[in-house]
Amino acid sequence: MSISIAICELDAAEALCRSLKTRLIKVLLDDITGFEDLVEYDDVVTLEDAQDLIPDWESFIKRNRLSEETNAVYIDKIKNDADLELLRTRSKKVSTGWLPVEGLEEDALKKALSASKEENRITGWDMVSFEETAEMCAVCPLSWDKGRGCIGAFGPENSALPEIAERRGCRIVASVPEGSRTNRIYTPEDASALINEIAVLESALPEEGKVYVRRYTGCLERLRAVADISVKEKCGFYFF
């Protein structure tokens, strides 16, 4: 297993993704009661009804490019107009459980959030393509990993760097494994201390041996990049 480093990007006003990540688009409700008229619906035909309407099932699957493992037919996936017209005679609206939240009044939004799990929410950032994400990260002030984003590698869980840091009195680097396990959020003040520790460790590594210089110089460079941004943008950072 390995440990990664990340910036608390939502704490930083200059993060290009911040407005998108804080803009809630829709939530998946555990219970749609009270939102029946607002949730999204799929137009669906049961497998039994679809096969009853269309005897030549194999041809139907091929011309509409559907999976042979499908257990229901979704109207919006049908490409053949004749099949579409026929299937609509048996289709029914089935709730997806997804509720668009933009425009909801405050009380309704609170009720919706209480009826959904945090991991079942879609933000503006989720709607951005991989290409757009890469372009945005490449120019973001918080993108410390050589333009690839604000998350990168610290190293393996069994890295000797924290142990070396412990012996040299570098408490922030020494705390990385424990911080990763406990989900600790490090502060900009910690980042200032980390910058000083990096200088200590850069001097200490040659004394530890050439192998440690080769192994951990890159890690120290990444730590400095994170610490510099944390101080500049007044945002936290963490290991996971």
Q: For all residues of the chain together, what is the average pLDDT?
A: 95
Does residue 199 lie within any of the structural domains? Answer: yes
- Asked if 39 and 29 count as a contact pair (C-beta separation under 8 A), the reply is yes
Does residue 67 lie within any of the structural domains? Answer: yes
**The pLDDT value given to residue 158:** 92
- At residue 81, φ and ψ (nearest 5 deg) are -65, -40
3-state secondary structure of 91: coil
Segment 161-170 long-range contacts (CB within 8 Å, at least 24 positions apart) = 161/201, 161/216, 161/219, 164/201, 164/204, 164/205, 164/208, 164/212, 164/216, 165/197, 165/201, 168/197, 168/200, 168/201, 168/204, 169/200, 170/197, 170/200, 170/201
Do 86 and 154 have their domain in common? no
Q: What single letter denotes the amino acid at residue 148?
A: R
Q: How many structural domains comprise the chain?
A: 2
Do 147 and 227 have their domain in common? yes
233: burial class by Cβ within 10 Å (0-12, 13-18, 19+)? buried
Does residue 106 lie within any of the structural domains? Answer: no
Does residue 8 lie within any of the structural domains? Answer: yes
3-state secondary structure of 42: strand
- Asked if 190 and 142 count as a contact pair (C-beta separation under 8 A), the reply is no
Does residue 130 lie within any of the structural domains? Answer: no
Does residue 34 lie within any of the structural domains? Answer: no
CA 60 – CA 69 distance, rounded (Å): 13
Structural domain of 157: 2-16+140-239
- At residue 155, φ and ψ (nearest 5 deg) are 155, -175
pTM to 2 decimal places = 0.75
- The pLDDT tens digits of the residues spanning 31-52 come to 999 999 999 999 999 999 999 9
Does residue 186 lie within any of the structural domains? Answer: yes
Cα–Cα separations (whole angstroms), residue 192 to 67, 78, 230, 237: 55, 58, 8, 12
**The pLDDT value given to residue 148:** 82
**The pLDDT value given to residue 147:** 74
Do 147 and 225 have their domain in common? yes
pLDDT tens for the chain, residues 1 to 240: 899 999 999 999 999 999 999 999 999 999 999 999 999 999 999 999 999 999 999 999 999 999 999 999 999 999 999 999 999 999 999 999 999 999 999 999 999 999 999 999 999 999 999 999 999 999 999 998 877 889 999 999 999 999 999 999 999 999 999 999 999 999 999 999 999 999 999 999 999 899 999 999 999 999 999 999 999 999 999 999
Do 85 and 174 have their domain in common? no
Does residue 78 lie within any of the structural domains? Answer: yes
Do 10 and 87 have their domain in common? no
**The pLDDT value given to residue 30:** 96
